[in-house]
Structure 1
Amino acid sequence: MLFSNVAFANDEHAGEEKPKVFDANKVIFGHVLDAHEFHFFDYTDSEGHLHPVTIPLPVILYSKERGWDVFMSSKLEHGHAVYNGYKIDDEKIYAVNEAGAIDESVKVYDLSITRNVAQMLLAIIVLVSILISAANKYKKGIGRTTAPKGFQNALETVILFIRDEVAKPNLGSKYERYLPFLLSVFFFILINNIFGMIPGAANVSGNIVFTAVLGIISMLVINFSGNKHYWGHIFNPPVPGGVKAILVPVEILSIFTKPFSLIVRLFANILAGHIIIICLISLIFIFGNFGSAAGFGFAPVSIAFTIFIYMIEILVAFIQAYIFTNLTAVFLGGAIEEHHHHEDEHAHH
């Protein structure tokens, strides 16, 4: 602060092209956000050209001006080409004019099968196949007259756990009515969490839209199942009149804050885990920008921490599926709870 110096820019190398450095921000958000393809890695050929290794997905577009367009995402060449009057930039597809500039007059509706959608469909197919296979074994008597075998044994353990530790304690005698819903929510979240741990796969559970839909479904089931006692506590809580004016808006707000907590909790935990893992791997290449020795030297430390966090994330995949299911059962139990007579006696007293 007491001394100053003047530094002049050196123009000697101004015309030279700077070497490309590792862009951690692009890699991290490229992994956790949705995309129109599955991207695994890039390689450079002998001539210095970069080639990405990807699985392209169908692009489905509609606009009033141009109608429907269906083609594979590889036609857009990762933003380096224009196809049928469209180009992609930061995973958003725009309509362009003959000069290649974005045509603002054309409103594009992107209905493409992105990697999140494709992975959800794949997860559903795998999940349904596993459950049907287990159900067929039960039809044959395996698991009823004899002990369950193979993966059927693991499924039965999980199903009994959800029934005995989640459904029955929170829903009481009505647990059988809601058990299929709770099991569907649990297994759907769990299998998408596990699929998201596969390198190169999509981060479905870390997408706020995915968790928002699940939260909205839970909110609808909870509120449509609510009895008179539930709605009475919301619009006419058993408190003095002065407090009631404050408590009623709070109770109405709780209708939305409960599913909102489910949405944010699942989204934030899964997204944070993926970002931490990618950040730890990215440190190898960030240190590599300072020299190969620094990159290789830090690699063992980065890999060790990555494996440690990866193991924790596998545990988190199960925990977050359980927490979402358990809290849904808790909220649902509060909505279907029967009115107790001792409350009337207490209020009268």
Structure 2
Amino acid sequence: MLKRSNFLTINKFLAIILLVMPGLVWAGGGSGKDGEDEQFDPSELINHHISDSHVWEITHGIVVHLPVIVYSEEKGLDIFSSANFFGEHEEVKPYNGYVMDHDHITLESGGHVFDISITKNVLFLFIDALILILVFSAVARGYKKNAGKAPKGIQSFFEPIIVFVRDDIARDNIGHKYERFMPFLLTVFFFIWFGNLLGLLPGAANMTGNISVTLTLAVITLIITLFSGRKTYWLHIVDPLGKSMPWAGKLLLYIILWPVEIIGIFTKPFSLMIRLFANITAGHILILSIISLAFIFESLTIGVVGALFATVMNMLELFVAVLQAYVFTLLSALYFGQAVQEHH
């Protein structure tokens, strides 16, 4: 029976092979229109992986066309498969008055379209949520079944992590009012962690490397912080100097301090958004760039060395996956703690 560490190593090695498969096909070169070999374009490979799409390419030749849901004043609501945009040889073509250019859908007449399609990232959001529901439903059943006993199975794996989030993140940074924030903190921690891990699978979506996803998570943190703010939290923003000097003396200072305090409310979630987006996207770009070197230089030596470096980086990304989930949860708890802190 394989040890867990050996299984992970084999799994990541296979993941890299599958990830490289599209590059092997492109680098191998089909014939172009002029009979010349196609040149390998690393930017095409990288952008294809990190960007969102109306098509989910599991691996080269295995494609799932996702549903397109668009609304416009001219045509109303339309729902159809993205397969309609592709011809017999996978060339992009117009369909029913719509055109798709680099996965951006518009009307042939030039009109604006409101696109609410189930794209690759949206699909993996659903997959991530489904995994959370299945895993923690099993953990909840384990708690009921093993009440008063030592945890077993999946419960024994996740319980130490849940306790860590509760004691070392929530309680330490929020204080005695931490319990009401626990559902969000646990959800965001595991949602980001599982999403990061899904993004490392071959053919998967770069979900947590999409700025729309990180923006939404950051906005939720901002809303919870603002609605949880106590009187002392708002007084600190309105009157940060307190009673240290009379109002007449500090009015001039407040011309500077008030804009800083107000901007500070929004820079905190902004930093959450950018940090998660940048770290996850950078990791994917680095791994794909290392893999691309073999096809750029067409060298077996560089290919072997690049594969080794990519394997190491992929292993490092396993750590980054949980680290970024921890950082986002920790900073969210810190902001909640500032909002509910008692007056000193």
Q: Distance in 2 between the 1:41 and 1:322 partners?
A: 31
Which residue of 312, 315, 331 corresponds with 2:316?
312
* Aligned partner of 1:252 among 259, 262, 275: 262
How many angstroms apart in 2 are the aligned matches of 1:70 and 1:177?
40
1:116 counterpart = 2:128: no
Q: Distance in 2 between matches of 1:147 and 1:227?
A: 40
Aligned letter for 1:181?
Answer: F
Shift of 1:333: 0.5
Which residue of 2 is the match for residue 81 of structure 1? 93
- Note if 1:184 corresponds to 2:193: no
Is the helix fraction higher in 1 or 2?
A: 2
Contact preservation (8 Å) 2:165, 2:186:
yes
1:160 aligned to 2:163? yes
Q: Deviations over 1:75-99 (max 9, x none)?
A: 2115533322223221112323xxx
Distance 1:287 1:210 in 2: 36
Counterpart position of 2:71: 62
Identity value in percent: 44
Q: Which residue of 1 aligns with 2:132?
A: 127
**Count of matched residue positions in the alignment of Structure 1 and Structure 2:** 302
1:43-87 deviation per Cα after TM superposition (whole angstroms, max 9, x unaligned): xxxxxxxxx431111111222222222221122115533322223
Contact 1:235–1:248 (Cα < 8 Å) also in 2: yes
The aligned counterpart of 1:25 is: 43
Partner of 2:301: 297
How far does the alpha carbon of each residue in 1:70-129 deviate from its partner, in whole angstroms, 9 at most, with x for none?
A: 221122115533322223221112323xxxxxx21x322221100000000011011111
2:224 to 205, 221, 224: 221
Question: Gaps (5+ residues) in structure 1?
Answer: 1-14, 43-51, 97-102, 289-293, 341-349
CA-based RMSD of the aligned residues comes to: 1.6
Q: Distance in 2 between matches of 1:134 and 1:327?
A: 26
Structure with greater Cα Rg:
1
Asked whether 1:53 is paired with 2:65, we answer: no
Do 2:59 and 2:202's aligned partners in 1 also have CA atoms closer than 8 Å? no
C-alpha separation in 1, matches of 2:160 and 2:189: 14
The change in CA–CA distance for 1:218 and 1:162 in structure 2 (over 3 A counts) is: same
> Segments of 4+ in structure 1 off by > 6 A?
none
Q: How does 1:92-107 map to 2 (within 5 A)?
A: 92-96=104-108, 103-104=109-110, 106-107=111-112
> Which SS does the other structure have where 1:69 is aligned?
strand
Query: 2 CA distance for matches of 1:59 and 1:284?
Result: 36
Using a 3 Å threshold, how does the CA distance of structure 1 residues 235 and 20 change in structure 2: closer, same or farther?
A: same
Higher relative contact order (CA 8 A, sep 6+): 2
State whether residues 138 and 154 of structure 2, in contact with CA within 8 Å, keep that contact through their aligned partners in structure 1.
Answer: no
Equivalent AA in structure 2 for residue 207 of structure 1: N
C-alpha distance 109-245 of structure 1, shift in aligned 2 (>3 A): closer
Q: TM-score, normalised by structure 2?
A: 0.84
Q: Provide the rounded CA distance (Å) in 2 between the counterparts of 1:179 and 1:41.
A: 39
1:179: Cα distance to partner? 1.1
* 2:325 is equivalent to residue 325 of structure 1: no
The whole-number CA distance in structure 2 between the counterparts of 1:250 and 1:109 is 36
CA contact (8 A) 1:79 1:88 kept: no
**Displacement after TM superposition at 1:17 (Å):** 4.4
Q: Distance between the aligned counterparts of 2:79 and 2:254, measured in 1?
A: 57
Is the contact made by 1:171 and 1:333 (CA closer than 8 Å) also made in structure 2? yes
1:151 match: 154
CA contact (8 A) 1:22 1:286 kept: yes
Supply the AA of the counterpart residue of 1:303. A
Counterpart Cα distance in 2 of 1:17 and 1:275: 31
For residues 236-247 of structure 1, the aligned pairs below 5 Å read 236-238=239-241, 239-240=244-245, 241=250, 242-247=252-257
Aligned with residue 204 of structure 2, among 186, 201, 204: 201
